[in-house]
Amino acid sequence: MTDTPETVYTDSTRVSCDGASDIRQGFGYRPSALGHPRVWLEIDEKGYVDCGYCDRRFVLNSGPNDARAHDVTGVDPALGAAREERI
């Protein structure tokens, strides 16, 4: 088991979690018996919500807690190098 919960980025403020949505079974896909009851969660002004069952974190894209949208390191993830600002 990992120390940090899984993070899912979404465009919707209303999300569902069943703890097993990434687990697929055979051809035709039937939900696995693993996981937890499906719950609906609402992302509020914090920009994220955590599932009370599995601790999966849902983060709103370009929201206040989207680390990808608020990069302050100056590193361009696509290039892997610091950006230069020319004056």
Per-residue pLDDT averaged across 14-24, rounded?
A: 80
**Model pTM?**
0.64
Cα–Cα distance, 65 to 60 (Å, whole number): 7
Confidence of residue 70 (pLDDT cuts 50, 70, 90): low
Confidence of residue 66 (pLDDT cuts 50, 70, 90): confident
Task: State how far Cα 11 lies from the chain centre.
Answer: 10
Kindly report the CATH number that applies to the domain delimited by 1-23+31-63: 2.60.260.40
For the segment 25-64, what is each residue's pLDDT rounded down to a tens digit?
556 655 556 788 999 999 999 999 999 999 999 999 988 8
Please, are residues 37 and 18 in contact by the beta-carbon 8 Å criterion?
yes
Residue 53 CB-density burial (10 A; 0-12 exposed, 13-18 middle, 19+ buried)? middle
Q: What is the pLDDT of residue 48?
A: 94
Q: What is the pLDDT of residue 32?
A: 55
